[in-house]
Amino acid sequence: MANYSKLNHINVGSHGTFKKSGNLHTKPSDIDAIFQHLTDSQASKLVVHFHGGLVNEGKGEAISRSMHTLYHDVAHPVTFIWEAGFIETVSRNLSSLADTKLFQKVVKYVIRRAASKLGGGIGDKGSGEEMSIREIEAELARTQAFDRFDAGARGAAGVLDEAELDAIESEIQAEVELDLADDAEIDSILETEPPITDLLTSEFKAGSGQQQKGLISTGTLAIHITKIVYRVIKRFIRKRDHGFYPTIVEETLRQLYLADLGKWVWSGMKEIADSMWDENTLPLGDDDHPGRYFLEKLTAHQQANPDFIIDLVGHSAGSIAICHMQRTARASFPGLKIRNISFLAPACTQNLFRKEIVAHPDEYEHFRMFTMQNDLETRDELVPKVYTRSLLYFISGVLEDEVDKVIAGLELQLRGEKPYNDATHMEVHQFVNAAGLNQLVLSQTTDAPPGLNSESTSHGGFDDDPTTRQSLKALLID
């Protein structure tokens, strides 16, 4: 077995630069050494792996070593390590929020009001009937809370329209105000929690001065809860919901808690995925960009060795880095030839995927996406009991600039069915389902030819899943 070394990874620092950001540090000379090794060893294949960008440095290095074990006997592997600690940040913040009384109260009152308008059968309740707080708490204690409600809520939403929803908005607010008026704890919670809850938006925090009380009145809170209920129901009407309870959590977070929840980490991570390919200046320094330098050296190496094979693999947000790499190559290194592009549960938006991959099939020989069937995606709980959908659903519902953003790896949004069936969506749908090309592999698939199987049951599991790993290796051997 070839030994793992600095020849097998490139560490990307803050803002996509060569800056040292942890124990690992890649310098321009380290990238020079990789290509000198490729020349000296007369290597015929290179596989470049982009891990999710959602993990800390230690996990990133562990992934790099694991992929080296898989790839090294069929191609020289290089993994881009770009730590963000995103999963840890989001999980910690969501868990912290779930322990606050205000978050718990808001979610329960949104559930009560949205359920009374939608119906759906929980607790034998129909449209217009209210669930008690005790019934709501009992349902929240279940694994996959309110999943039994989804089909009924969607059915009820099918007979509503947005004009009717607008007509009952004031009614919803009046009902919320009564809920809060009957809550003996709410005034105390509003006085004590907002000043010490860092994750709340600034509107919900107390001002300076030790004696100043919280700034939220029950009337203000009622307005916010009403907005959340309204948007939840509207998403059901538009068929853009992610399930009853996850949609409520998403809208609550977007309305009240996005200040420090993790959106800034997600935005920063996407900025790294883009900026690592920015132009450099000479002589190279810490403020220059390792992705760009690697791409420059890679193009020169392939030009000197025309039969040199390059394969790209991107897991989760690694797909974003590959999209930007392809955009940069198209603009500045048009001679670069890629054989395989493989995405594992890609977290890039479908629009970015369409612009940089789908629209340019002449820039690579083969494409393949491995991702989960929607049934598995909805059961892959990001934070059990708090957010009961997968990371891709969380990105779509909370972290992107618009709610229910269409994500490349969400199978539900790849089907070409309403509401994901406009021209852009259909272009992507037809691409991944093109006859005879085997460009989409849905987990769990176990009985297909080599290279077309996957058994991952979690978003983070694709690079660990033995079946998926063997499929990736089969692509490299070909």
Residues 316-325: tens digit of each pLDDT: 999 999 999 9
Residue 209: pLDDT band with limits 50, 70, 90: very low
* pLDDT-above-70 percentage for the chain: 93
Based on the number of CB atoms within 10 Å of its own CB, is 214 exposed (0-12), middle (13-18) or buried (19 or more)?
Answer: buried
| Token code pair at residue 101 | 């009384």
Q: Which three-class secondary structure state does DSSP give residue 457?
A: coil
Of 118-127, 336-345, 398-407, least confident by mean pLDDT is: 118-127
Residue 121: pLDDT band with limits 50, 70, 90: low
Residue 57: pLDDT band with limits 50, 70, 90: confident
CA angle 170, 172, 177 (to 5 degrees): 95
Residue 372 or 144, more confident? 372
* Whether 250 contacts 390, CB under 8 Å: no
Residue 476 pLDDT > 80: yes
Residue 384 or 338, more confident? 338
* Whether 328 contacts 298, CB under 8 Å: no
Distances (CA, A) of 72 to 78, 185, 421: 10, 61, 41
Give 176's DSSP letter: H
| Token code pair at residue 162 | 């947005």
Q: What is the pLDDT of residue 211?
A: 37
Average pLDDT over residues 151-180: 94
Residue 269 pLDDT > 80: yes
Q: What is the pLDDT of residue 199?
A: 78
Q: Is the N-terminal amide bond of 77 cis, ω within 30° of 0?
A: no
- Strand positions, DSSP E, 305-359: 309-315, 338-344
* Whether 354 contacts 413, CB under 8 Å: no
Residue 108 pLDDT > 60: yes
Residue 22: pLDDT band with limits 50, 70, 90: confident
* Whether 371 contacts 344, CB under 8 Å: yes
Of 68-72, 87-91, 253-257, least confident by mean pLDDT is: 87-91
Q: What is the pLDDT of residue 207?
A: 38
Q: What is the pLDDT of residue 210?
A: 35
Q: What is the pLDDT of residue 197?
A: 80
Residue 58 or 458, more confident? 458
Residue 215 pLDDT > 60: no
Radius of gyration (C-alpha) of the chain in whole angstroms: 25
Long-range contact set of residues 299-302: C-beta below 8 Å, sequence gap at least 24? 299/329, 299/333, 299/335, 299/336, 300/35, 301/35, 301/38, 301/39, 302/335, 302/336, 302/337
- 432 Cβ partners below 8 Å, 6+ apart? 369, 414, 439, 440
Residue 85: pLDDT band with limits 50, 70, 90: low
Taking each helix axis from N to C end, the angle separating 101-118 and 86-98, rounded to the nearest 10 degrees, works out to 80
Q: What is the pLDDT of residue 289?
A: 98
Residue of 370, 304, 301 whose CA lies nearest to 341:
370
Q: What is the pLDDT of residue 60?
A: 87
Statement: the pTM of the whole predicted model exceeds 0.85:
yes
Q: What is the pLDDT of residue 92?
A: 82
Residue 179 pLDDT > 60: yes
Residue 78: pLDDT band with limits 50, 70, 90: very high
* Whether 373 contacts 444, CB under 8 Å: yes
Residue 32 pLDDT > 80: yes
Residue 12 pLDDT > 50: yes
- Strand positions, DSSP E, 296-353: 309-315, 338-344
Q: Which three-class secondary structure state does DSSP give residue 442?
A: strand
- DSSP-derived secondary structure for 389-436: S-HHHHIIIIISSSTT--BTT-GGGGS--TTS-SHHHHHHHHHHT-TT
Residue 129 or 145, more confident? 145
Give 52's DSSP letter: -
Lateral strand order in the sheet of 9-11: 9-11, 76-81, 45-50, 309-315, 338-344, 364-372, 440-443
Residue of 110, 112, 103, 106 whose CA lies nearest to 133:
112
Mean pLDDT of all residues belonging to the chain: 91
Residue 213: pLDDT band with limits 50, 70, 90: very low
Residue of 433, 459, 143 whose CA lies nearest to 315:
459
Q: How far is CA 385 from the centre of its chain?
A: 19
Give CA–CA dist 93/198, Å, rounded: 10
Q: What is the pLDDT of residue 196?
A: 77
Distances (CA, A) of 327 to 36, 293, 334: 26, 15, 10
Q: What is the pLDDT of residue 262?
A: 67
Give CA–CA dist 207/396, Å, rounded: 33
Residue of 175, 103, 104, 115 whose CA lies nearest to 146:
115
* Whether 377 contacts 85, CB under 8 Å: no
Residue 208 pLDDT > 80: no
Q: Which three-class secondary structure state does DSSP give residue 180?
A: helix
Residue 109 pLDDT > 70: yes
Residue 124 pLDDT > 80: no
Average pLDDT over residues 399-427: 95
Q: What is the pLDDT of residue 54?
A: 66
Q: What is the pLDDT of residue 198?
A: 76
Q: What's the residue count for the chain?
A: 478
Residue 449 pLDDT > 90: yes
Residue 475: pLDDT band with limits 50, 70, 90: very high
Residue of 416, 418, 434, 417 whose CA lies nearest to 426:
416
Average pLDDT over residues 194-213: 60
Q: What is the pLDDT of residue 261?
A: 66
Q: What is the pLDDT of residue 87?
A: 72
Average pLDDT over residues 361-368: 97
